[in-house]
Amino acid sequence: MTQETKKAVIVGANGIIGGNLIRHLVEIGGWEIIGLSRRGGASEGKLRHIAVDLLDAADAKAKLAHLTDVTHIFYAAYQDRPTWAELVPPNLAMLVNVVEAIEPIAPRLEHISLMQGYKVYGAHLGPFKTPARESDANHMPPEFNIDQQDFLEALQKGKSWTWSALRPSVVIGYALGNPMNLASVIAVYASMSKELGIPLRFPGKPGAYHSLLEMTDAGLLARATVFVATNPSCGNQAYNINNGDLFRWSEMWPKIARFFDLEVAPPLPMSLNVVMADKEPLWNAMVKKHRLAPTPYADVSAWGFGDFVFGWDYDFFADGTKLRRAGFHDYVDTQEMFMRVFADLRARKIIP
């Protein structure tokens, strides 16, 4: 590795965020990349994958003991649990285990990037102050995002490396088998509606159809993450990152329906987790009929996350100007983003 080459560890390499970050680093060049995940992946070129159980401190220390030349750690791993309190132990432990395995043995470490979200502002609990700003006060715990940041802040004191926290809205991009994949939820729900010959109904709470919200494109997030991690002036700070526009489902939903050649019927509140529970035979029939990629229903059906997002019957957005003031000016049109991701899912033969 030359002195100019940077070496990144991507934690959560197979997710929407980690996968898009890897693609961005490959495209811009100048990086050696180590992807960490439970199931690993195919190594090629400057990318190498390591399968590791980050909940096991001993396994993490053993598998990562050779990463003495790492310059950047990008943390984007997540494990889902049934309750907010149960989310804390595993998600804090994974960060602690990977950092404690690498930080003491990597003298060239420059930066640790932490992926957070609007949970920091209590967005998941109910109506919160909008636009949310990085300077807003923390809310009543439990909250693993806050605990993770507290850990990094404490560890960084007196060290030469810096940390940052990126706070995106709902991240939209390609990834399968992910518990937080809204694009797949909408695409499969719409495709099944078409297969059944029924119109596309918004399934969320009535108030959610008209609330203001925003999204974060996965590619935009990757570019912002690297920008922050490689600019010393951004160190030891948190940044909101969103597409830069706001929308309402009442305006976006008909446009999504048009992409799938569907009519729109009035919203009908229903739990996707319930009404889609019996649809695996339909999905398997669609895969065969339309010669789709043989993707298990469980890998395309993050219905619980869809219910979560479509249940926000309150405004859901944050102020993204701090990152722009720091010098990052990229933005994405949210309607174009949805259509691009749906077209990509179609091109990959994930949906008809």
Give the tens place of pLDDT for each residue, 166-196. Answer: 999 999 999 888 878 999 999 999 999 999 9
What is the model's pLDDT at position 3? 52
Task: Write the pLDDT tens digit of every residue in 94-147.
Answer: 999 999 999 999 999 999 999 999 999 999 999 999 999 999 999 999 999 999
Q: Is 203 in a helix, a strand, or coil?
A: coil
What is the model's pLDDT at position 2? 45
pTM of the model: 0.97
Neighbours of 330 (CB within 10 A): 15
**Would you say the CATH fold of 172-214+246-317+329-344 matches that of 6-170+218-241?**
yes
DSSP 8-class letter at 104: G
What is the model's pLDDT at position 176? 84
Domain boundaries, the chain: 6-170+218-241, 172-214+246-317+329-344
Domain 6-170+218-241: give its CATH architecture. 3-Layer(aba) Sandwich (3.40)
What is the model's pLDDT at position 191? 98
DSSP 8-class letter at 142: P
What is d(CA 38, CA 15) in angstroms, rounded to the nearest whole number?
A: 11
Residues of the chain with pLDDT below 50 are: 1-2
Q: CATH classification of 172-214+246-317+329-344, choosing from 3.40.47.10, 3.40.50.620, 3.20.20.70, 3.40.50.720?
A: 3.40.50.720
Q: Is 42 in a helix, a strand, or coil?
A: coil
What is d(CA 226, CA 223) in angstroms, rounded to the nearest whole number?
A: 5
CA-CA distances (angstroms) from residue 108 to 64, 152, 336?
Answer: 15, 17, 40
